[in-house]
Copies of this chain bind each other. A is one copy, B any other.
């Protein structure tokens, strides 16, 4: 029932401000129980589609009028607008998304996590007090233990719990760079961090990537010319390309950081989503000079709604991040931290990954197979060994301008490439994510997209050139 009403709202048949029938009326009209109607209204409210105003009734949200999702999506190509679009996608009826570098919500270990939560019940009073800004000691013990797999020997005291990688990076950006100062980012890079840098007024400079990782010569040139405060890198199964930096590149980057006195900010969020054997050790595991800040979290591995991640930083930076955390929001909720600690202690993460990695590998394979099968020859793409992202490169054509809107009209969302870039690319790019859809849907989505692309590439040009600039990737 909720789905029916949702469709009517999204399609404009129930315009904003329309009063919905009361629960009692609708239950009678449809011959269902009131509980059924209540649940449907509840779900619509949860999706932000209707609003209940106490004493007045339930109305189609004015939000819907202000920004009808399917029409506002993709209209603005700023990182913030696209982050916002991606967060909204799940709420749009009839739309399938390859836009979000996220796990499949239907695979979340929610019930197992709930057991861990139940086990905290005896500590209920303790769990609703302020927690330590550094994070729950038991969670820090578990994170330190997990980091052994990444080649890192850290004590719980060195771990700082944060509200997800997003907050970890926001703290790092604010602690290390003042407005106007330059920092290095990969080209392309995680768009959420571009938004964060913009919010802080920090200037990102582009380090091109190739299939072995960030290009050291470019890093060195920028380090000399611009004296950046840090280089933000996702060395392992990068978002948005899926590229995994080789061990040689990792060592080169670290040597450059030491030589030129900048910090490496290593985002390790995707590293455990490895489909061809264990991932390379973290760059932080090679760090003998306190040059690396390591950031990771559980949004891609377990459940993003926990909003929990961690930072391991050299001691003076650790103290500054901790002080900033107190200025931002004091601490993460102790209850969720403790429940996660219990879940990890009982090896819940390992069990979960054993279950989902084969599924994600299958989806990655389905996406790559569908690309090979459907895409016209002018399209090229990365072949990730982990993570959730494949990065496509096409020759730039004016006819591609409406690709995203055309795909949305056919019920498919992807992330346009531009928003991951800090300087323009001669080519057209897009990011496809395979984590959240089953293989058959992935194949179908790629086919729809391939047809739209072929149509547009064929339209004006008789000879299709390969992308101008395949290595580096953008």
A83 to B329, CA, bound (A): 12
A84 to B134, CA, bound (A): 11
A156 interface hit (Cβ, 8 Å): yes
Contact B141 A305 (CB under 8 A): no
Stretch at the interface among A107-115, A379-387, A395-403: A107-115
A179 interface hit (Cβ, 8 Å): yes
| Residues 124-171 (chain A) with a chain B CB within 8 angstroms | 124-133, 136-138, 141, 144-145, 148, 155-157, 163-164, 166-167, 170
Which one, B52, B88, B121, contacts A114 given CB within 8 A? B121
Mask, A91-118, CB within 8 Å of B = 1, is 0000000000010011010110110010
In the complex formed, the residue of B with least CB distance to A178 is: B179
| Residues 392-441 (chain A) with a chain B CB within 8 angstroms | none
A130 to B324, CA, bound (A): 24
Contact B129 A304 (CB under 8 A): yes
Main secondary structure of the interface of A (DSSP, over half): helix
Contact B170 A327 (CB under 8 A): yes
Stretch at the interface among A43-51, A255-263, A346-354, A366-374: A43-51
Residues from chain B with Cβ under 8 Å of A163 in the complex: 163, 329
CB of A341, distance to nearest CB on chain B (Å):
10
A170 to B167, CA, bound (A): 13
A40 interface hit (Cβ, 8 Å): no
Q: How many residues of A contact B (CB 8 A)?
A: 82
A126 to B39, CA, bound (A): 14
Contact A87 B124 (CB under 8 A): no
CB of A139, distance to nearest CB on chain B (Å):
11
CB of A361, distance to nearest CB on chain B (Å):
23
A63 interface hit (Cβ, 8 Å): yes
Best-buried of A52, A131, A330 by chain B (most CB within 10 Å) = A330
A331 interface hit (Cβ, 8 Å): yes
Contact A330 B166 (CB under 8 A): yes
Q: Given A46-B138, A305-B128, decide whether A327 and B196 contact each other with a Cβ distance below 8 A.
A: yes
Pairs of residues from A and B, 7 with the lowest C-beta to C-beta distance, nearest first: A128-B303, A199-B327, A128-B305, A167-B329, A110-B124, A163-B329, A196-B327
